[in-house]
Structure formats: C-alpha cells, structure tokens
Amino acid sequence: MQLVLILVVAIWVIGWLMRAPVRLRLTMIGILWLGLVLEHLVLPDGHPLRMATGGNARGWLVVGGVAAVILAYRLGLDRLRARAAAPDATPPSGPFRPAELERYARHITLREIGGMGQRRLKEARVLVIGAGGLGSPALLYLAAAGVGTITVVDDDSVEASNLQRQIIHPDASLGLSKAESAAAAMRALNPFVTVDPVVARLTADNAEALFAGQDLILDGSDNFDTRYLANEVAVRLGTPLLAAAITQWEGQISLYDPARGAPCYACIFPDRPTPGTVPTCAEAGVAAPLPGVLGSLMALEAVKEITGAGESLRGRLMIFDGLYAENRMIRIARRQDCPVCGHVHSA
C-alpha cells in the first residue's frame, strides 16, 4: 500500500514540475489504479505482488468508486459554472432570462411576491403622470422592480431648480424634455423594461387614449386641473389611481379605486381650491427628500397593488409630516352623491 501511495505522489509531483495538465496527471493515476485492479484479478491468491498491494481488489474498487463520484461532482460543478459565466445566447424558455432571475432575486425570495408576483410585475403596464419630484423616485423604483411597461407623461423641460429634488434628472439633462430624460435614466437602470416617454401635457383630448390598457395610474402631477382630470378618466375606465401630493414638509398618498369599493379623489376633495389659495412648490418651497419619501411610497404601493402583497392604501389616506417625523392614517369612504363616481358599482 505504501508503495502505491508513493507512486501516486510521485506521478502528481513530477507532473506538476513538468506543468502537465491536471487531466493528464489524473489519467496516469487512473491507469495505475486500473493496473492494480487487473493485477488482483489475474494473479493467483497469495501472490507476493497481490499481498504487497492489499491482498484483494475490493479495497481498490472502493477507492476507485469514491474517486469517480468526487470527480463527477467536480466536473458537473465546473460545467455549471461555465454555463453561468457564458453569455446568454439562447432565448429564455420561461418568462425570465437568467440575468433577470439574478436581478430580481431579492423580490423572488420574498414570500409575498415570489416568482408569480415578479411575473405579474413583468406583465404589468403602469402610467406615471409627471417626471418631477414625485415621479422621479417612483419611476426609478418601478423600473428597478421590473415593471414590464412604463409610460411617463410630462411636457416640461428640466430646469436647474428641479435638480434639488428631481433625482431622475442629471445636470447634463438641463433643457431636455423631462419625459425623455426620465426614460433614458430608466433604460440605463434596467434594460429589461419597456419605457414609453410621452412629451405632452395630460388633457381631456389625450387622457383616455393614454390610460387605455394600463393596469395602474400613478399621479405625481403638481396642479389640480391634472389631478381632477386623471381621476375622472381613471374612474370612467375602472383603473386604480395611486395619487400623492406634497408641499413644504408634508405629503399625502392614497389609492383611489371606486370600481373596487374605495373612494375616488373627488369623494375626498370635492371642491378644487380657488386659484392662488394653495401655494406651489416654487412659492412655498419644498424639502428636497420629501418627494423622495412620497414617491418611493408610490412605487411601493404600486408593487403591492400589482402583486397582491400586503394591505394597500385603498380606502386609506396616509399623511406624512416630515418636519416632525409623524405618520397619520385616515380611513376614507365613498360618497354616494359624488358626481364623478356615484354611479359606479363596486366589484
């Protein structure tokens, strides 16, 4: 036995010194093993050579079997690693490419989302009104989360005063369309999502065509005309509307969905403020991270709504006070006399 071990070590060391491939060294050791087994099968019992190498072939057969299992495991592992490292040249057989599975692994691990939830995100169509303070984080997180098709509607251009809080736009985008700038950022973040930038203001003429076929509308606009218009069209089409608003240090967010029992925006805010009574961000100011908080909440609620995870803000209004770090939750209900959704029968 000692002689055999010495021969094995000698083969390995000499091969290493001669820089012989590992495969060749293993082949030489395999030939030695095969010779030992044949020796025990051919030579008679009690032969000195058989006695010097263990006496019978059983021990060597066991050694060979163990070595074969280890070698097969290593070869299989190397093959898997090579396949993982190789570029994905073949079309995916399922809904996700290998690169997408790795990208969304933390979502798929979540019990409340899992593979089916991630597939719902991939198949979802979401429209976001505004690529400003609220739209910036919402759009980035929707793209990162893997929402399949994202439409962004905005007719403004990027200005220097936007950059304090509208984090989707880099300094290099000054003067460019916000919709196009946001689309470029989303595509750079996640090439597996489809982004449709619409450089236009939401109007009564285009709103219904833009909303048609969408699974969810996110309203991050900064004026009441757009908010009431988005609500009316969403109610008419039966599409859930996730809307948020901010000013100075405070923000609010809710999911308006009368088709499923929740109130619409007009149920809670039936009268639009008189022009000039509610100051704009330009007039009153706004803390830079505040739209990030509310915009991120919009994206989070969108992911929950699409995947069915947790409890949504349907029928609840969240009010966030950033100055005093307080949250308040208010239960809200439909108004039967609401001129916008009073005729809608909930599912």
* Structural Rg of the chain based on CA atoms: 33
Q: Strands 125-129 and 216-219: what pairing?
A: parallel
Interior angle at CA 202, CA 199 and CA 205, nearest 5: 110
Q: Which sequence positions are flagged as catalytic?
A: 281
The answer to whether 283 and 292 are in contact (CB under 8 A) is no
Q: Strands 194-198 and 149-153: what pairing?
A: parallel
The answer to whether 182 and 197 are in contact (CB under 8 A) is yes
* Burial letters 207-241, b for 16+ CB under 10 A, else e: beebbeebbbbbbbbbeeebbebbbbbbbebebbb
The answer to whether 32 and 8 are in contact (CB under 8 A) is yes
- Name the strand (E) or helix (H) holding 217: strand 216-219
